[in-house]
Structures are given as structure tokens and as C-alpha cells.
Amino acid sequence: MQLLGIDIGGSGIKGAIVDIRKGEFVGERHRIPTPQPAKPQPVAEVVAEIVNHFDYSGPIGVTFPAIIHNGVAHSAANVDDEFIGTDISRLIQRETGLPTITLNDADAAGIAEMHFGAGQNQLGTVIILTLGTGIGSAMFRKGVLFPNSELGHIYLSNGMEAEHYAAERIRSEEELSWKKWGKRLNELFQHVEFIFSPDLIIVGGGVSKKYEKYFPYIEVKAQLLPAELRNDAGIIGAALAAEDLA
């Protein structure tokens, strides 16, 4: 089965047709810059452009950088606050005429990683942390998602919010060495491990491909693995979620 997954971000809106049995793109992904300001109607219109680009007709899975309950955004990260309280699924369905399901972007990436990446066949407690502009998270127990975990917003013993202390963006802005950044990640990972006792922690985001530079400074009892799907995970997870509408 081939379904359309769309990943809405603060700088770009990306989509691809996904073979959800293989977890692979069918052809190239298509990207359009996110409208600025990133308000609901202009964003929905860009989603419709992507649908038209693929000449697609069928269910759509959409990821969004927010807490999502039944398609409604209850926060807004790197997009306009006007999204808060917006039923994104209904908005996009009205704009495209196609059934739509919306989920948190990190949850979507986690779903893909559990199906086709480093989390395959893992039935214990799995936590996926995506490192980028912020820190996203997805939590699974026996393969079942606990949605909207938002672990990037927990506070550490130094009083700082995790993503303001240890996101990949912070490493870049503060020009931290891999060792210094790895030690910051270690504080976060050990805190998460103390609270949730995961069997496996998966590190996602584009920086996961450089895991050998900072993994040596992370000391946890859980198994620690880099994500395998990286920046494709959100789109693949969105398409997997759309299967529920098929």
C-alpha cells in the first residue's frame, strides 16, 4: 500500500509517497518552504500544493510540531501561536478534500523507527529522543505509543529546560565540543533513565549519523542506539498513521 506522508516544520513542509509495507519512499520527496508567518490557512494551502504535486488521492498522514489530541494542536513550536486550538486534521481535510490524520512530529518519527528502524521487535520500554532545533521524544511500551511525551521540556538538576541546554541547536550556537555536548546529553539521558527505566534509548535527528562522536560520553544502563531512518522518519511515520484511515 502506498500512502502520502507530510511533515510540517518551522522552515519547510515535506511530503513523499511511502510504501508502508517496506517503509520506503516511492520516488523523491517534495519540499516547499513553510509560509512566514506560519499561520494555519497558508500552511494548509502548502499541504494542498504537495498533494497536487503527487496527483494523490487517498488518506493523508501529517506530522506537526505540537501536542496533538484528536487532530487539535495544544501547543506550537516554530509555527504561529494561531495554531493553538486549531483542528489541523479538519483544516487540511477541508483544503484537500482528503481524509487526514495529524500527530506529533516526534511520535511519527518514533512510529517509523519502531516499525522499520532500530526499534524493530523491541517489546520492552523504548524511548526515542530526536535532537535538533529542540528535543522531541516518543515513548513505547510493548510496541504501543504513549503520545505527546514532550521530554525535551523536562527540567534538569541545573534548573534548565532540557532542550535549552542539550539540543543540537545549542551545541552549534555555543560551539560546544562533542565531549562537552555529550556530557550535557548524559545529564539528560541519566535523568530520563532514572524516571522511566527504559530498556532501549534511540537517538534520532540528523546528528544521529555522527553518534560515534558523542555516544562515548553517555553512560546509561539501557541499550543506546542511533536511529536508522533519520530525517525520513517523520514522513514514513505519518504515512503509517494514515493507514488507519484507509
pLDDT tens string 84-125: 999 999 999 999 999 999 999 999 999 999 999 999 999 899
**Average pLDDT of every residue of the chain:** 95
Residue 79: the pLDDT is 84
Which CATH architecture fits 2-107+233-245? 2-Layer Sandwich (3.30)
Mean pLDDT to the nearest integer, 208-218: 97
Q: What is the pLDDT of residues 165-176, one digit of tens each?
A: 999 999 999 999
Dihedral pair phi/psi, residue 239, rounded to 5° = -65, -40
Domain ranges of the chain: 2-107+233-245, 122-227
Region of 227 please: left (phi>0), alpha (psi -120 to 50) or beta.
beta
pLDDT in tens, 137-166: 999 999 999 999 999 999 999 999 999 999
Span 29-84, pLDDT tens digits: 999 999 999 999 999 999 999 999 999 999 999 999 999 999 999 998 778 899 99
Cβ burial of 179 (10 Å; 0-12, 13-18, 19+) is exposed
Domain made up of 122-227: CATH architecture: 2-Layer Sandwich (3.30)
Identical fold for domains 2-107+233-245 and 122-227, yes or no, is: yes
